[in-house]
Amino acid sequence: MQDIPVQRDLVVLHNTPYFPACKMNEPYLCAVLSVVEILLLLFGLIMYLWMPMIFNLLITLILTRLNVEQANEELREKLS
């Protein structure tokens, strides 16, 4: 009976055990996978840091341009 291969032969690259290409002496695959890792990190930074900050700034600018108190007073005058 043969042993079933497990994930212990994977090489840890940047603290993630997902890249067995480095163990197969193919450094160009390691470099490509490292670039993919960097792109995913940048994607995460853009999605979860920069986009919410930009949305918050846009919402803040829109809300500062609105004159809500004056509109409320006009509505109260209309209704009464």
pLDDT at position 47: 92
Q: Are the C-beta atoms of residues 21 and 31 closer than 8 Å to each other? A: no
Listed by start position, the domains of the chain span 7-79
For residue 19, count other CB atoms closer than 10 A to its CB.
Answer: 19
* Residue linked to tokens 């997902």: 18
Q: Are the C-beta atoms of residues 37 and 16 closer than 8 Å to each other? A: yes
pLDDT of 41 above 80: yes
pTM for this prediction: 0.49
CA–CA distance, 74 with 80 (Å, rounded to integer): 10
Nearest Cα to Cα of residue 14 among 42, 33, 39:
33
Residues 48-68: pLDDT tens digits? Answer: 999 999 999 999 999 999 988
